[in-house]
Structure 1
Amino acid sequence: MKFSKNSITEIFKDLSEYFKSTDFSKAILLGIALTLPIIAGVKLEALQIGITITVGALLASPSDVSGSIRHKITATLFATLLAMVVSLIGGYLHLSLWLLFPVLGVLMFGISYISIYGFRASLISFSGLFALVLSFSNVSGGMEPYNRVLLIGLGGLWYVLLVLLWHYIFPKAPTEYYLSKTIKLTADYLKSRGELVAETTDRTTLLKKLLSIQTELTAIHETLRDILIESRTGSGKSDYEGKRLLIFVQLVDMLELAMANPVNYSKTDDFFKRKPEQLADFQGLLFAMSNRMNAIAANISNPKKLQKNNNIEEFQKKIKRDIAEYSSASNETFDESLLLLKNLFKYQKEQIRKIQKIEWLLKNPAQRDLSLLNKEDSRRFLTKQNYDFEVLVENFNMRSPIFKHSLRLAVMTMIGYGVGMMFSVQNPYWILLTLIVIMRPTFGLTKTRSKERTIGTLIGGALAVGIVLITQNTTVYGILAIVSLVIAFSMVQRNYKAAATFITLSVVFIYALLRPDIFNVIQYRVMDTLIGAGLATLGNLLLWPAWEIQGMQKTLLETLKANRLYLEEIIGYYNQKGIIPSKYKVARKKAFLEMSNLSAAFQRMTQEPKSKQKNLDKVYEITVLNHTFLSSLASLSTYILSNPTTPASKNFNKVSEKIVRNLSDAEAVLKEEIISENDGEIYESEDVFDATFGKNISFSEEEKSSKSEGFHSKIEEAHLVREQLKWLLAMSEKMPKLLRETKF
């Protein structure tokens, strides 16, 4: 196989990013947390104590995910406490076989049900499930349950201490990594936009890529909000954190600005066919902006290394010249092509200003030059989790996906352990471990994990056999066990198949140090994984399956509600003008987040069996309609916020109120409520719009003949606001109709 220079460069870039990632640093931290107690145990001739402390550190570690240090420590302490309680109960389960199965089922259900409180709660829940599974193993060598529990607690505290120490040694590392990653993704977004401007047969693939980047950006934005805003809340107004938060604000605005300027490709294709040199200039500017963002990302920790680059400025001059030449050659009062060019260039200039602002902020401006965000206002951008007891009660029914998942997991773990005992499997708890790792609330995710876990285990088993045939050196096994474990934990979020491969290698080599029959260990490891993966898939398929269509109604309702609230904030600002309220930004963030959730839900739906993809075409149409609606909202809001505008007219308010009512009607359809007639108006969207605004934009002859800058601004505002309102109205009319036709 031949590698080109570009492909080798890409490999080195990927490796460099991997070693800089928080996943890798956490894996190194975990490697230290797990190996030091064992080394100390060997030196002090207390290996079982060292192993049990290691188990405690391992059980505490899942909750150590990216976010604020306060959330990390709180979650890790709760995970340690849960692991201690579960380990104590698990230590006495072996006294009676009749007691074991029902208690195992009840515990599995109860611990799994904790994940109803969100992502971090699901990680704490996993620690509890993991602790319960390990209580069936003999890793503590027959130690009394209460002694084992105390050592597990000590291991958890040891891990918390290391997390705190790591944070104080590398306090900026998570912020720098996620900020750099966000800048790179934004650069990819701009590059994809540049590729889309050119007429291409592969535009559908590029649009899917654009949506994928947008979804990933939205997820990383949530992580950065938690890191930046919570750290300011805990430690006051840090100059460093304040600047990084302002950079983050620019990046969020860049995503909204990109979404707010969807390109009408049929019109651009038609124009650029006649003017290919202008296409090259517009596309070149987007690529230059993308390259500059990548350069900023690469030097975010040391911005002084950023070299001056004039490419952006040169392309700007070319485009200005192109527009001036086209404008002087045009004799039309209202030239739509000229407006298209001006709007496209205006969008690019806005993005350039934001890139320049990011560079300025990185070059450490004086504190007095900064306008830092108010602490209380910034806290409103955090997504708050409701931890009330009522949440448990409300979801304690078969309509809740988490309730069904918990029940399913409880049943399958009882069956799995029964199968292991019936066939005298060497380590039946491996089947339970496979089940708790693979099983997810939805079938699509479970199927994907089952496949990746099985393939990874088979590859790991094959590699282990090869290594064992080459050498029987226990020192080599020990080194490989530690290295494999570190790589495995660093790959869990990135590539689960690779993670499963290295986990298998680590487990095999750890057992190779304790048992001479290593080939039996590999054989049972593979067999237990296959049993666990099969049971997990069957469980999600046969036991109270939670198909995505069942939760789609709620997801759509949240998306529509978020879009409606965002629209109401836009209407309010257009009427009042003045300072942009934080409520507007919170509503915008919520709309983008819910749209990402809807896109992810649809993607999961496509992974399900064909027979369960109920109304897939309709759901796809509704998803695309909501995405287009949000893009149009962002376009309207960005124009209103970025340009001096005239007072909102009565016609604007009348049509926008109609759009809000249509969205409320769509929400009512999803809630299965009765929709009342809106003031007796029974118009199609075209009729409503034309009856309100008229069919054409009207200007006086004096205004038309003046061709002043003010007139151009006025006609641009009238054209853009009118077109966006008309488009929003048509889409809002379509939503209730589509939802009535869709059976959930």
Structure 2
Amino acid sequence: MTKTFLNPQFSFLLKPSGNLKSARALRLTIALSVALAVGKLTGHSDIGFYVGLDSLFFLLSDTGGFYWTRAISLLFTVLVSTLFVALATLVSHILLLKLIFSFCSLFLVGYISLYGHPGVLSGIVIGLFTLFTLNLPSGGWEIVSERVIICLIAGTWTMVLCLGIWPLNPYLPLKKSISQCYQAIAKYINQAKNISESQELKQVIQVRETLQNARQAWTLDRKLRLGNTRLGESAIILIQDADNLITSIVTVIELVQLHQHDPQFVTVRILVNDALEKIALFCLNLVKLLWNKSITVNTDYLQSIVTAIAQQKQLQQKTIADHAEDYPALVVIERIISTLETIIIQLDSTASTVIQIKNNQSINRIPKDKILSAESELLSGSKTPSWFDPLRDNFTFDSSFFRHGLRLSIMITIGVAIYSIAELPQGNWLTMTILVVLQPSFGNTFQRFFHRMLGTILGAIITPIFWLLIPSQLILQTISLSSIVIGFSLIPFHYGLSVFFISIFAIGTEMSRQGGDWQVAMIRFLWTCVGAALAFVGAFLLFRPNEKEQLSVKLVKAISASLDYFNAVLSVYLGTVPYDLNLIIKQRQKTRLAYFNAQAALQQLSSDPNTSATDIEPKMALLIYLHRFSRSVSVLFAQLEHFSGTEPHPELANFVEQVNQFFLPLISSILTGTLPPALPTFEPSIQAIQTHLQTLQVTRLQEFATDQDYTPTRQILKDYTILGIELNQMLNSLNSIDSTVVRLNQ
């Protein structure tokens, strides 16, 4: 039907972008109704109206998710909005100061979108408050204090409603889908030993379908947000972890079935079945932990089972003496041991991610209990990136966030100049249109342009009809207030439809104030046309050549920068280049900028309604694991301050060479859309390094007994213990990057 009446290029006008949520409308209704009721009861109806209206705007900045993140985001929005309202009140009567303030404040509004979805929403709300105040009559400190108090009361009421009375949980479907992944793994393990091979295959397919459903749930959640979120990153990691787990578990089960009837394999089979049961229980406990239930998860017992299997291998190796090569079961047992060890590492990593979600922490923190030596705790003091780092790293014209902030500030300043010089009534309608229409990408601006125009035209036609046909002011006020609540509720569902209801409120409120003058609707339509046109021109002309860079190119730049960063740091460990702090810092900033630009390009892709889930999720997973790989490099960089330059293990050079052999063809694979070559075998090099470090730790314990403080062994452990830990993290990231690129190009 859509294709019959609309050109396919404009089919987005009739396509919803999300789901309807009655809870959102109910919360907005409560926010406005309580403020109006309190204002009425206290004899300050006007203040109650403004507090209620301001609270609706502040509610737009509540993204849900982590409690602490929401609190910080809301508090930041309230405080900065209040500050900008005060400054706008003071400078709005002086044109030059008004234009300078418009430029600076709106640049910040566009620039903070680099903080993802919370930053985008906070920026929009701050911008709306700023532009609305700039169009109001200026005033002295008395007017400033009155407006500041209204903002603070509205902000406080919003925070009480969001964080105390009505905590929003928009991630519920996503958490359910992740839980189903781990429940499906546990179910598969528990049923695998009692079902036929064909039934087992069906079970594996069902688990894979559950993983795909989780990825689709993540994609839908991602589409409803204007940027990245911390829980969103953690979610895709948990989904990928589940994918890695099921692959390893299927491998173990298949290996056991190879020799399930071998009499010398009986004990190993019993131990493996015990291990699988513990893995299933671990997965179920992860689900409980994800839902904030008090439960402890650890892999100690699972590790003891692996140790027991290793002892069985040694026992059988002694039994067959020099004929181990003739005993295929030994090879199978060794593979089972290595696979179970991989599963243990994966489970520990997954549990760490879930615990960090529960504790509202950033992902990728270094767990100190993983450090192999007490002495090496001195080396664990790597710094958590500051909130200021993204602002500093993106403060360059190469950053798409910087360009968007600059583009937005220029066009809105032009809009402010137009309505101020021409003394146009309701000039804030012009600038607010620019704010909400002008998007980081031209494609998204194109869609917002037509959504805004369609909603405004319909609102400008319908509203005067209501005011002509309905004589009751009470009914008209009810329609007006209901429209703003409905409009704000529909923003995630369909922007054009929400604009229609918001226009009814805006036009209706102004018509009531001016005695029913229908020309207000015409003014609303005209200023929307001018504002949308300015936004369209800005998106088309200002810095557009830089935005034409495709996501695949930006992904390649992010990979290249990450590889250069890895080589810059590891070359110091290998002793091939001297330690140059400034050079590595510059490379780290280049890597961060490449990551941010790729993330911005991905957001432009995911915001396009014509983009399918299969296009978004693998690219996002690739970015996240690439970022985790770089974070591991940053940990090693932080330890260079204590590095004394001791001789590295020979296998470290081999590992670095393998990483380069992995990444370089990966770049070609992404650009050409072909499958990458086989993943290099990293495990032998990593195992050799870690075995060497474990041997040194035993030696160091013997040195403790003889009070030897400063020895070569101690220095080697200080230099390389953290590296030994991070190699496992890197391996996990590299495996996930490889599987993601394979899915991307299939």
Give TM-score scaled by structure 1 length.
0.53
Deviates further, 111-120 or 517-526: 111-120
* 3-state SS, counterpart of residue 379 of structure 1: coil
Amino acid at match of 2:491: V
**Aligned equivalents of 1:547, 1:557: Cα separation in 2:** 15
C-alpha deviation, 1:431, in angstroms: 0.5
Residues 411 and 728 (structure 1), Cα distance of their counterparts in 2 relative to 1, 3 Å cut: closer
**Corresponding residue for 2:168?**
174
Structure 1 residues 557 and 58: CA distance shift in structure 2, 3 A: same
Partners of 2:551 and 2:228 in 1: CA distance? 25
The answer for the alignment partner of 2:157 in structure 1 is: 162
* CA distance in 2 between partners of 1:596 and 1:400 (Å): 8
- 2:114 equivalent to 1:133: no
Partners of 2:49 and 2:442 lie apart in 1 by 36
Letter in 1 for 2:489: S
Partner letter of residue 604 of structure 2?
R
Distance 2:498 2:180 in 1: 29
Change (3 A) 1:625 1:499: closer
- In the TM superposition, residue 253 of structure 1 has moved relative to its aligned partner by 4.4
The verdict on how the C-alpha distance between 1:226 and 1:145 changes in structure 2, with shifts beyond 3 A counting, is farther
**Kept in 1: contact 2:67–2:360 (CA 8 A):** no
Deviations 1:261-302 (A, max 9, x none): 699xxxxxxxxxxxxxxxxxxxxxxxxxxxxxxxxxxxxxxx
* Structure 2 counterpart of 1:381: 363
Distance 1:628 1:659, change over 3 A: farther
| Aligned-residue RMSD, C-alpha | 6.6
| Partner in structure 1 of residue 36 of structure 2 | 35
Alignment partner, residue 427 of structure 1: 426
- Alpha-carbon distance in 2 for matches of 1:122, 1:508: 27
Structure 1 spans left out of the alignment, 5+ residues: 2-13, 192-196, 199-205, 228-247, 264-319, 328-347, 567-593, 614-618, 634-651, 671-683, 693-723, 739-744
Q: Is the 8 A contact 1:29 1:162 kept in 2?
A: no
CA distance in 1 between counterparts of 2:737 and 2:175 reads: 34
Counterpart residue number, 2:604? 604
Cα 1:687–1:621 shift into 2, 3 Å: same
The Cα of 1:498 is off from its aligned counterpart by: 2.4
1:166/1:189 Cα in 2 relative to 1: closer, same or farther (>3 Å)? Answer: same
Q: Residue 604 and residue 473 in structure 1: after superposition, are their counterparts in 2 closer, same or farther (change >3 A)? A: same
| Aligned-pair identity (%) | 17
1:151 matched to 2:146? The reply is yes
Partner of 2:241: 256
| TM-superposed deviation, 1:436 | 1.3
CA contact (8 A) 2:19 2:492 kept: no
For residues 126-525 of structure 1, what are the structure 2 equivalents within 5 Å?
126-138=124-136, 144-166=139-161, 170=165, 173-175=167-169, 178-183=171-176, 212-216=216-220, 253=238, 256-258=241-243, 379-381=361-363, 386-388=386-388, 391-420=390-419, 425-525=424-524
Q: Which moved more, 1:355-364 or 1:431-440?
A: 355-364
Structure 1 pair 58/251, CA: closer, same or farther in 2 (3 Å)?
A: closer
Q: 1:18 — aligned with what?
A: 21
CA contact (8 A) 1:484 1:506 kept: yes
Contact map agreement 1:395 1:403 (CA 8 A) in 2: yes
**Secondary structure at the residue paired with 1:154?**
helix
Q: Residue 518 of structure 2: SS of its match in structure 1?
A: helix
Q: Is the partner of 2:444 in helix, strand or coil?
A: helix
CA distance in 1, matches of 2:476, 2:680: 75
- Note the alpha carbon deviations across 1:440-463, whole angstroms, 9 max, x for none: 222222222222222222233344
2:455 counterpart SS class? helix
**What residue number does 1:65 align with?**
63
Cα deviation for residue 433 of structure 1 reads 0.8
Does the 8 Å contact 2:52/2:154 carry over to 1?
no
Long gaps (5+) in structure 2: 2-16, 185-200, 203-209, 259-275, 300-350, 366-383, 567-593, 630-650, 670-675, 685-730
Q: In structure 1, what residue type is equivalent to 2:501?
A: F
CA-CA distance at 1:527 after TM superposition: 2.0
Assess, with a 3 A threshold, how the Cα gap between structure 1 residues 461 and 218 changes in structure 2: closer, same or farther. closer
Shift of 1:475: 1.0
Q: 1:440 to 1:258 in 2, by over 3 A?
A: same
Deviations 1:402-441 (A, max 9, x none): 2222222222123223444576643111000111122222
SS in structure 2 of the partner of residue 95 of structure 1: coil
Q: 2: CA distance between counterparts of 1:354 and 1:455?
A: 53
CA 1:164 to 1:565, structure 2 compared with 1: closer, same or farther past 3 Å?
A: same
Conservation of the 8 A alpha-carbon contact between 2:452 and 2:499: yes
Q: Provide the rounded CA distance (Å) in 2 between the counterparts of 1:104 and 1:628.
A: 35
The one-letter amino acid of 2:146's match is L
The aligned amino acid for 2:484 is: L
Report if the CA contact (8 A) 1:555-1:598 is conserved. yes
Give the TM-score normalised by structure 2. Answer: 0.53
**How many pairs are equivalent?**
527
Distance in 1 between the 2:600 and 2:424 partners? 39
Q: Is the 8 A contact 1:629 1:728 kept in 2?
A: no
CA distance in structure 2 between the aligned counterparts of 1:86 and 1:625, rounded to whole angstroms: 38
Using the TM superposition, give the Cα deviation of residue 558 of structure 1 relative to its aligned residue in structure 2, in angstroms. 4.5
Q: Whole-Å Cα distance in 2 between the matches of residues 685 and 110 of structure 1?
A: 44
Residue 542 of structure 1 and its aligned partner are, at CA, apart by 0.2
Structure 1 CA distance for aligned equivalents of residues 76 and 624 of structure 2:
42
Secondary structure of residue in 1 paired with 2:387: coil
| 1:226-265 residue CA offsets vs partner (Å, 9 max, x unmatched) | 69xxxxxxxxxxxxxxxxxxxx9999645533477699xx
Counterpart Cα distance in 1 of 2:737 and 2:235: 32
Equivalent residues of 1:685, 1:730 under 8 A apart: no
Shift of 1:472: 3.0
1:81 to 75, 79, 102: 79
- What is the CA–CA distance in structure 2 between the aligned matches of 1:442 and 1:425, rounded to whole Å? 30
For 2:63 and 2:84, locate their aligned partners in 1 and report how far apart those are by CA, in whole Å.
22
> 1:502, CA displacement in angstroms?
1.8
Distance across 1 between alignment mates of 2:597 and 2:404 = 19
3-state SS in 2 of match to 1:456: helix
For 1:493, what is the secondary structure of its paired residue? coil
Distance in structure 2 (CA, Å) of the matches to 1:223 and 1:558: 17
Code of the aligned partner of 2:145: L
Counterpart Cα distance in 1 of 2:605 and 2:409: 25
Secondary structure of the residue aligned to 1:492 is: coil
